[in-house]
């Protein structure tokens, strides 16, 4: 049996229970001569020596070897190793306990840490990510998961948004037990991942289907924005090489698109398109008009897209070449075209991807009111 002192994200009890596998009894405790600070630029804290200060946290006593193994799997992937210390349990007891200390040199300390601040911004998504992380225990090394942790958080944030979606008016109402997963595998996981399910689902006659095998290409949610200048009646398009058309054998794998990108775990779709507009086109977007959210390929991809038309000023000289984020090997060229030219591109088939097609058709339906509002 072992005692542990938790000072950071594991003081968030839903996360602790997800990692350990059960609800723990904990008491407030403190470690003298230390303080807790954010890891600079990260979503987790560091504990550091600090004479005259005390790190506040929680003490859990009597953890089993199996529970310690689960903790070691979770924390070990992030370069944290245990060390025994003596903590003040607040009731006069001085208790020996294990503490996860960061390996030196991995991160720089930032501002003082407050659990409430972290929980407000990260608590739900990190707890959701922990479910995926712990599900891979025994299947993948924690170091491998650490390398993909940012992508795993994006996937978890997407799942939280999906879970908040309401039921429809026409579709059947989904209930607990309507989908039963017999087995799950992840045969590929890098920038994207592939998940394979053996599952059965409720038929429309009320019976359950036989167990079927289904593979899903996993990506996080994404968002697109078509910049529109209602005064000049023109839009901005981006052009870049795309491996999807190339792999299909397309004679021209350069694609005309709306600005788009993944929604990071720490942002909303609206924040994502504003960030992407700056990164891909050096453009500041004004009012955003939501077109809708949709699955481009629900039969085999988890990706969900939020598409917008964004009001922007697009004077002559706005177009740029060679845009993109350093380190992501992007090479983006932008085009300023009139609305009529955009419609010609749709008619010719040169616009052949869903976000731009949908955005252009929405703009066609709402163009008059956007121009009237601008006047």
Convert 45-84 to b/e letters by CB count within 10 Å (16 or more is b).
Answer: bbbeeeeeebbbbbbbbebeeebbebbbbbbbbbbbebee
Strands 259-262 and 254-257: unpaired
CA dist 227 and 276 (Å) reads 12
Among 132, 125, 219, smallest CA distance to 140 is for 132
Tokens representing residue 221 in the block: 């949610």
CB 278 within 8 A of CB 284: yes
Token digits of residue 82 = 């245990």
Tokens 């359950």 label which residue? 208
For the record, the structure tokens of 348 come out as 């010719």
Question: Mind telling me the catalytic residues?
Answer: 328
Directed axis angle between helix 149-163 and helix 124-135, to 10°? 120
Query: Cα separation of 304 and 167, whole Å?
Result: 16
Which residues is 197 bridged to in the sheet? 184, 214
Per the CB < 8 A criterion, the answer to whether 306 and 223 are in contact is: yes
d(CA 225, CA 268): 14
Q: Which two tokens stand for residue 342?
A: 């955009």
- Could you give the angle at the alpha carbon of 369 between the alpha carbons of 365 and 374, nearest 5°? 135
- Pairing verdict, β 321-323 and 26-39: unpaired
């Amino acid at each position: 049996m072992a005692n542990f002192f938790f000072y950071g994200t594991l003081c968030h009890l839903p996360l602790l229970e997800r990692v350990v596998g059960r609800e723990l009894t904990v008491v407030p405790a403190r470690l003298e001569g230390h303080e807790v600070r954010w890891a600079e630029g990260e979503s987790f804290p560091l504990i550091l020596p600090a004479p005259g200060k005390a790190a506040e946290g929680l003490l859990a006593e009597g953890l089993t070897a199996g529970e310690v193994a689960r903790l070691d799997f979770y924390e070990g992937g992030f370069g944290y190793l245990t060390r025994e210390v003596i903590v003040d349990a607040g009731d006069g007891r001085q208790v020996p306990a294990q503490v996860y200390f960061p390996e030196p040199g991995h991160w720089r300390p930032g501002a003082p840490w407050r659990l409430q601040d972290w929980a407000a911004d990260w608590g739900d998504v990190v707890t959701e990510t922990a479910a995926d992380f712990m599900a891979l225990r025994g299947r993948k090394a924690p170091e491998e998961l650490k390398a993909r942790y940012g992508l795993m958080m994006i996937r978890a944030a997407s799942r939280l948004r999906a879970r908040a979606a309401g039921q429809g008016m026409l579709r059947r109402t989904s209930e607990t037990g309507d989908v039963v997963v017999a087995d799950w595998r992840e045969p590929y996981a890098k920038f994207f991942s592939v998940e394979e399910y053996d599952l059965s689902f409720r038929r429309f006659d009320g019976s359950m289907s036989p167990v079927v095998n289904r593979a899903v290409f996993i990506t996080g949610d994404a968002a697109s924005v078509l910049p529109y200048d209602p005064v000049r009646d023109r839009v901005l398009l981006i052009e870049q090489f795309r491996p999807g058309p190339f792999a299909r054998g397309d004679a021209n794998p350069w694609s005309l698109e709306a600005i788009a990108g993944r929604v990071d775990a720490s942002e909303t779709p609206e924040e994502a398109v504003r960030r992407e507009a700056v990164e891909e086109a050096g453009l500041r977007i004004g009012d955003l008009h939501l077109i809708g959210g949709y699955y481009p390929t629900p039969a085999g991809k988890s990706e969900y897209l939020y598409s917008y038309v964004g009001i922007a000023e697009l004077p002559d000289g706005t177009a740029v070449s060679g845009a993109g984020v350093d380190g992501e090997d992007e090479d983006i060229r932008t085009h300023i075209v009139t609305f009529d030219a955009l419609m010609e591109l749709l008619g010719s088939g040169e616009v052949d991807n869903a976000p731009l097609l949908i955005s252009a058709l929405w703009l066609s339906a709402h163009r008059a009111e956007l121009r009237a509002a601008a006047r």
